[in-house]
Amino acid sequence: MDEIERRRRDDALYPAADTGAMAAARYLVVVGGADASTTDVLADALRDEFAVRTAYSEAGLFASLDDDVDVVLVDPRLPDFDASRLSACLRERDLDCQVGVVTDDRAETVTDARHRAALADAFVATPSEDTDGAWRNAVSRLAARARYRKRLEEYYRIADEYATLVVDAESTTGDDGADEDGEGEPAESQTDRADADATGQDPADGEPANEQSVDEDAAVERERLADSLDRLQAALADAYDDLDADSLFDVVIDPWQGAPPPWRDSAASENTDPDDESP
Amino acid sequence: MTDDSDAAADQAATVLLLAPEAGSTAGVLSAAALDDDRPDRVVAVTVTGTAERWLDGWNRRTQSDPAVTCVDVDGATRSTASESDRVGPGVEREHVADPAALEELGRTVSDVLQRADDEGESVALFVHTLDDLLAHVDEATAFKFVYTLGEVVRRVDGIAYFHLDPDGRDRETIENVSIVCDRTVEIDRFEANRSPE
C-alpha cells in the first residue's frame, strides 16, 4: 500500500471530527461451513447486524479473507479443512481477525476437538431458537476484540512513522532529544507533542521550527500523524470498556510470541474436554 | 516527582523512565523515581535482574514501608529455595517462566494490580526493564504490552514506570515508547544513588 492509499484509508477510518465512526462501522464476518444450506442459515442469522461472507470449502474460505474481515466462524467439518493452514494463512497475511470455531456437541468428533483446541479464539455454539441471542453476542464479542486489536496495530504503525519523523527532524536540526533542563524533568509529554505539532515549536528549546530548517512537508505530516494518534488513543480508550475478555493481553498479544504455535503442541490433540465449549 | 508538580504529571499513569542499566541498583532507581510519592503497594517486575536484588536496592534507598509484590520473570529457572526464602517477610512473589510470554506476564501483573485495587491500595508498578523484554520480543509486541499495561494501570488509578536504558537503544525506539507513555523522566546514575533526604 503506497502512502497516498494509506492516507486515504486513514482519513476514511479516522475522520478528524468523528472518532465514533469507527465504532459505528459494521463488523465483517466470514462463515465457513461444509453444508451450504446450514451455513447460509447461520449467515442469515447474522445479516441484520453484521456484514457477512460465506464459504463452503477451505479454498473459498481463504479467498474470503482480507484486512476488512473481523471474525471468521468456521465449522471444522469443512472439506479438506486444516486448522494449521488457516492459522498460517492468517499469520502470513498479517490479518487481525478473531476465529470462532462453530461447535455442535451432538456431532463433534475427536478431530473436531483437535481443531478447536488448536485454532480458536473462542468456541461458538450453533444457534437454536433458544440461543439465537447468545450466538449473536458471541460473534459480537469476537468482533469487538478484533477491532480493538486492529486499532492497536494501527496505533503502533502510526507511532512508528511519527517516531521516525521526529528522529529525522532531530538529526536535521542537530537536536539529539536529550533533556537539557535538568535531571528528573519530563523530556516530552504527549501534551507537549500535540502543542509542538500545532504551533511548529520545538518543545525542547522553544525555537521556531522554521528557523531550524525543519522540512515543512515533514512538519505537516508529523502534525497529521499526531492527530491520528490522539484520535486512535481516544477510540481505544472508549473501546476498552466494551471488551469482554478475561485478559486484555489475550486479545492484543499473540500467545505464541517467540514460541512454537499451539497446533504444534501434541498435547492439544488430547483436549476433548466438553467444558471447553464456553468462550 | 512532588506533590506540587504540574497537572499533566499528576494525571500520568505511565512513565517512561530513562535511566542507566540498573543491575543491582534497580530497586534504588525505583525509589528515586517515586521520590515523595507513597503508594500503598509497589509492584516490581524484574526480568534479567532478580527480585532479591531489586528488594536489596529498594530497602537501601527508601524510608517508606509500602507492601511489595515482586513479579520475577524467568525466576523459576534461576531461583533456588534458599533465594525464595531471602525475599523477605511480607513480600509477595509471583513467577513468570518465559520472558517472551508477555500475554502471561501481562495477565499476572494485571491480577496483582486488580487484587491491590480490590483491597483499596494505591499502587506503583515498575518494569525493570523494557530492554530485557526487547531481548525476547519485537518492538511492536513490546509497544502493545506497554500500552495495554498502561490501560490496566489507569483503571486502578495507579502509576507504571517502564525502565529503558537510553544508552542501549536508538532514538527511534525511545521516541516510539515515549509516545505510548504519558510522560518521560530521565534519571542519571548520580541521581538514582543520591541518599534520601
Per-residue model confidence (pLDDT) at position B143? 95
Distance CA A40, CA A36 (A): 6
Per-residue model confidence (pLDDT) at position B37? 76
The DSSP code for A94 is T
Is A237 exposed, middle or buried (CB count within 10 Å of its CB: 0-12, 13-18, 19+)? exposed
Give the best-scoring range by mean pLDDT among A13-17, B21-25, B68-72: B68-72
Distance CA B104, CA A48 (A): 37
**Mutating which of B145, B185, B186, B197 best tests the A interface, going by the most A Cβ atoms within 10 A?**
B186
Nearest to A21 by CA among A7, A29, A11, A31: A11
Mean pLDDT taken over chain A:
71
Give the residue, B97 or A171, on which the prediction is more confident: B97
The DSSP code for A186 is B
Given a cut of 70, whether residue A262 has pLDDT beyond it is: no
Which residues is A3 bridged to in the sheet?
Answer: none
Q: What confidence category does residue A157 fall into, taking pLDDT thresholds of 50, 70 and 90?
A: very high
Give the residue, A198 or A229, on which the prediction is more confident: A229
Contact A161, A224 (CB under 8 A): no
* Adjacency order of strands within the sheet including B14-18: B91-96, B67-73, B41-46, B123-128, B159-164, B14-18, B183-186
Average pLDDT over residues B124-134: 92
Tell if the CB–CB gap between B174 and A177 is shorter than 8 Å.
yes
Which residues is A99 bridged to in the sheet?
Answer: A72
Looking at this predicted complex, what is its ipTM? 0.84
Average pLDDT over residues A211-226: 79
Given a cut of 90, whether residue B123 has pLDDT beyond it is: yes
Share of chain B above pLDDT 90, in %: 48
Minimum CA–CA partner of B100 in chain A:
A258
Give the residue, B49 or A211, on which the prediction is more confident: B49
Distance CA B107, CA A156 (A): 21
| CATH 3.40.50, applies to B12-159+168-192 | yes
Segment B1-18, tens digit of pLDDT: 333 344 445 568 999 999
Per-residue model confidence (pLDDT) at position A174? 63
Average pLDDT over residues B44-67: 84
Per-residue model confidence (pLDDT) at position A255? 56
Given a cut of 50, whether residue A190 has pLDDT beyond it is: no
Which residues is B176 bridged to in the sheet?
Answer: none
Tell if the CB–CB gap between A249 and B110 is shorter than 8 Å.
yes
Per-residue model confidence (pLDDT) at position A169? 82
Mean pLDDT taken over chain B:
82
Average pLDDT over residues A140-161: 92
Give residue for cell 473501546. Answer: A239
Tell if the CB–CB gap between A259 and B172 is shorter than 8 Å.
no
Distance CA A178, CA B186 (A): 9
Q: Which cell numbers hold the place of A39?
A: 451455513
A234: three-class secondary structure by DSSP: helix
Per-residue model confidence (pLDDT) at position A168? 85
Distance CA A203, CA B172 (A): 18
Average pLDDT over residues A260-273: 39
Instruction: Establish if A253 touches chain B: CB-CB under 8 angstroms.
Output: yes
Which amino acid does the sequence have at B21? E
Given a cut of 60, whether residue A194 has pLDDT beyond it is: no
Average pLDDT over residues A82-103: 87
Which amino acid does the sequence have at B155? R
Give residue for cell 472439506. Answer: A79
Given a cut of 50, whether residue A7 has pLDDT beyond it is: no
Cβ-Cβ contacts under 8 Å, B180 against chain A: 159
Tell if the CB–CB gap between A188 and B178 is shorter than 8 Å.
yes
| Residues within 8 A of A (CB atoms), B 130-169 only | 136-137, 140-141, 143-145, 147-148, 151-152
Distance CA B10, CA B5 (A): 7
Per-residue model confidence (pLDDT) at position A206? 54
Per-residue model confidence (pLDDT) at position A200? 46
Given a cut of 90, whether residue A244 has pLDDT beyond it is: no
Q: What confidence category does residue A107 fall into, taking pLDDT thresholds of 50, 70 and 90?
A: low
The closest CB to that of A183, out of B1, B9, B187, belongs to: B187
Per-residue model confidence (pLDDT) at position B24? 62
Given a cut of 60, whether residue A19 has pLDDT beyond it is: no
| Residues within 8 A of B (CB atoms), A 106-165 only | 152-153, 155-156, 159-160, 162-164
Per-residue model confidence (pLDDT) at position A152? 93
Q: b/e map of A36-63 (b: 16 or more CB within 10 Å)? A: eebbeebbebbeeebebbbbbebeebbe
The closest CB to that of B175, out of A163, A246, A257, belongs to: A163
Average pLDDT over residues B138-151: 94
Distance CA A118, CA A112 (A): 10
Given a cut of 50, whether residue A195 has pLDDT beyond it is: no
A248: three-class secondary structure by DSSP: helix
Tell if the CB–CB gap between B103 and A179 is shorter than 8 Å.
no
Residues 6+ apart with CB under 8 A from A33: A39, A42, A54, A55, A56, A74, A75, A77, A78, A102
Give the residue, A192 or B17, on which the prediction is more confident: B17
Given a cut of 50, whether residue A8 has pLDDT beyond it is: no
Given a cut of 70, whether residue A123 has pLDDT beyond it is: no
Domain ranges in chain B are: 12-159+168-192
Per-residue model confidence (pLDDT) at position A271? 38
Is A191 exposed, middle or buried (CB count within 10 Å of its CB: 0-12, 13-18, 19+)? middle
Average pLDDT over residues B130-147: 93
Average pLDDT over residues A167-181: 62
The closest CB to that of A249, out of B102, B171, B183, belongs to: B102
Instruction: Establish if B101 touches chain A: CB-CB under 8 angstroms.
Output: yes
Distance CA A14, CA A30 (A): 24
Per-residue model confidence (pLDDT) at position A121? 66
| Residues within 8 A of A (CB atoms), B 163-182 only | 170-176, 178-180, 182
Cis amide linkage into residue A39, ω under 30° from 0: no
Residues 6+ apart with CB under 8 A from A206: none
Give the residue, A47 or A129, on which the prediction is more confident: A47
Per-position DSSP letters for A125-151, written without gaps between them: EPP-TTTHHHHHHHHHHHHHHHHHHHH
Average pLDDT over residues B13-37: 80
Length of chain B: 197
Minimum CA–CA partner of B137 in chain A:
A258
